[in-house]
């Protein structure tokens, strides 16, 4: 909840929350996982990470306080690392 100190809006008022988006993604994934190929699961996870990176980039382009920008930059770097790892895993399992 550290980010709330920079806004008067709650995540619900702003229209989304990372926690809610994550939960919806995993529920959707679990609903669709039965009978789904591993490749399809990787593609969906990669798509979500790519979209998340795009949204983070848009936020980082805003004029933010330096401490907030630093926090978001650290998160962006971790998401980017996860994205690249998913791509490598998809390739590894598709080659099997």
Q: 63-80, pLDDT tens digit by residue?
A: 999 999 999 999 999 999
- Domain containing 63: what range? 39-96
Q: 1-15, pLDDT tens digit by residue?
A: 445 455 555 555 555
Residue 79 CA to residue 53 CA, distance in Å, equals 7
Q: Is residue 63 part of a domain?
A: yes
What total number of domains does the chain contain? 1
Q: How many CB atoms lie within 10 A of CB 27?
A: 10
Q: Is residue 1 part of a domain?
A: no
Q: Is residue 7 part of a domain?
A: no
Question: What string of H, E and C letters represents the secondary structure of the chain?
Answer: CHHHHHCCCCHHHHCCCHHHHHHHHHHHHHHHHCCCCHHHHHHHHHHHHHHHHHHHHHHHCCCCCHHHHHHHHHHHHHHHHHHHHHHHHHHHHHHC
Residue 77 CA to residue 58 CA, distance in Å, equals 14
Structure-token match 């190929």, residue found: 37
Q: 21-65, pLDDT tens digit by residue?
A: 776 777 676 666 666 677 888 888 899 999 999 999 999 999 999
pTM of the predicted model, to two decimals?
0.64
Q: Is residue 15 part of a domain?
A: no
């Amino acid at each position: 909840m550290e980010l709330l100190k920079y806004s008067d809006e709650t995540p619900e008022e702003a229209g989304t929350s990372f926690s809610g988006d994550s939960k919806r993604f995993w529920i959707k994934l679990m609903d669709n996982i039965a009978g789904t190929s591993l490749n399809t699961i990787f593609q969906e996870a990669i798509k979500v990470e790519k979209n998340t990176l795009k949204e983070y980039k848009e936020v980082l382009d805003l004029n933010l306080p330096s401490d907030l920008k630093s926090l978001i930059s650290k998160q962006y770097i971790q998401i980017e690392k996860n994205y690249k790892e998913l791509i490598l895993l998809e390739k590894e399992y598709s080659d099997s």
